Amino acid sequence: MRVAGTELRVHGTFLVLLAWVGLARWREAGWLGALEAVVFVCLIFGCVVLHEFGHALAARRFGIATPQITLLPIGGVALLERIPEKPVQEVCVALAGPAVNVLIAALLMGWISLTGGFPGVDAVSPPTVDLPVRLLGVNVWLVLFNLIPAFPMDGGRVLRALLALGTTHNRATQIAAGIGQFIAVVFGVLGLLSNPMLILIALFIYFGAASEATLAQVRAVSSGLRVDAVTVTGAQSLRMGSTLDDAVELLLRTSQKDFPVVDDSGAVQGLLSAGDLILALRRSPPQTPVCEVMRLGIPCVPQSMLFESAFRLLQESNSPALAVLDEQNRFVGLFTPENIGELLMVEDALASGSNPSHFPHPASPLGKGTA
Ligand SMILES: [Zn+2]
């Protein structure tokens, strides 16, 4: 669904949440209870969508488009085309979301007081409390929760912008992400003790902070770099007619792990990773042509593309590598996460000068460095 140039996407798990809520209430309170619960959840997520459109509207004022808003069971995510350069603008965009919920809460307050005020606390039990009152509570909670300074939540973005006033954007992001991950760990522990939903939110914050921190670092070291500056040239490729046997030979002979499959004109038709190859060998005979087991739809990028754009594309795709093409659309090399890691290490060593052993590792889920 598209609204004002923004695509609204609903994640599949959100429908699972709706079904689960409906089923749980149906067992307790029958069809009417189930319907009421589903409507209530939809209303909550309506408020979340309006919150995300608050961000999108504020971003548009600074000339930044929001191509996509995604609805997840734990909330919404507005994907901005880019992050505002000026810290003041980032603060405005970050606060516009919670401001929408303040507005909704104020409207609900007005509605409730016009229609007879708040019911007494003991007059009704929670499930039958007026819908507007419950919705008011949800919006107050959305405001407070989003203002917790756990980057990449709204409060954390405000924190990052404030930090960026005194240091570089990258440094500010690293600090804010560190604080965000600390808060995420606290949430995770609290979630284990009380509410499992909190664990999901903690994971979302933890990995969100890690990926934004990496992105900021990549952006800092790669500004102006083109894809061909880091492409592994001379990468070996397979032909459409090559067999699994040929692929095994290439795998053993080279240090390469991903092999593009090219047709006679040199165009990339697919990719065979070492993992794909091992899986295929378990199921199929060694004479099977690679084109039967390769991954299709490998993202291809021109070698003149900016590094940052290619990095984002690689992150968003499920592909282990991007195929880099020349002007005639012929395969010239691969753009892989390993090259990016190496670039980050080299740049970091150059930047820290006398202390080349110091590499800040983006935290991996296992707590090990990723050098
Ligand atoms: Zn927000």
How far apart are the CA of 193 and the centre of ligand 1, in A?
A: 26
Tell whether 125 and 17 lie within a shared domain. Answer: yes
CATH number, position 257: 3.10.580.10
Tell whether 142 and 42 lie within a shared domain. Answer: yes
The domain of 288 spans 227-335
Residue 248, in any domain of the structure: yes
Residue 283, in any domain of the structure: yes
**Domain count across the chain:** 2
Tell whether 4 and 140 lie within a shared domain. Answer: yes
In the chain, how many H helices and how many E strands? Answer: 10, 11
Per residue of the chain (371 residues), what is the pLDDT tens digit? 777 778 888 887 778 878 888 888 888 778 888 888 888 888 888 999 999 999 999 998 888 888 888 887 777 888 887 777 788 999 999 999 999 999 999 999 888 888 766 555 444 444 455 788 888 988 998 899 899 998 888 999 999 999 989 888 889 999 999 999 999 999 999 999 988 888 888 998 999 899 888 888 877 777 777 887 777 777 788 888 888 888 888 888 888 888 888 888 878 888 888 888 888 888 888 888 888 888 887 888 888 888 878 887 887 777 888 888 888 888 888 888 777 777 777 777 776 654 433 334 333 333 333 33
Q: Are 142 and 54 in contact (CB under 8 A)?
A: no
Tell whether 49 and 139 lie within a shared domain. Answer: yes
The DSSP code for 149 is -
CB atoms within 10 A of CB 196: 8
Of the three residues 117, 147, 177, the one that is the final residue of a domain is 147
How far apart are the CA of 67 and the centre of ligand 1, in A?
A: 16
Tell whether 140 and 1 lie within a shared domain. Answer: yes
SS3 of 151, please? coil
How far apart are the CA of 361 and the centre of ligand 1, in A?
A: 28
Cα–Cα dist 109/117, whole Å:
9
Of the three residues 147, 177, 208, the one that is the final residue of a domain is 147
Sheet holding 268-273, edge to edge: 238-239, 258-262, 268-273
Residue 239, in any domain of the structure: yes
Please, what's the b/e burial string for 76-88 (b: 16 or more CB within 10 A of its CB; e: otherwise)?
Answer: bbbbbeebbeebe
Of the three residues 147, 172, 201, the one that is the final residue of a domain is 147
- Which H/E stretch holds residue 139? helix 131-146
How far apart are the CA of 335 and the centre of ligand 1, in A?
A: 33
Residue 167, in any domain of the structure: no
Tell whether 9 and 109 lie within a shared domain. Answer: yes
SS3 of 364, please? coil
CA 45 from chain centre, in angstroms, equals 19
Residue 348, in any domain of the structure: no
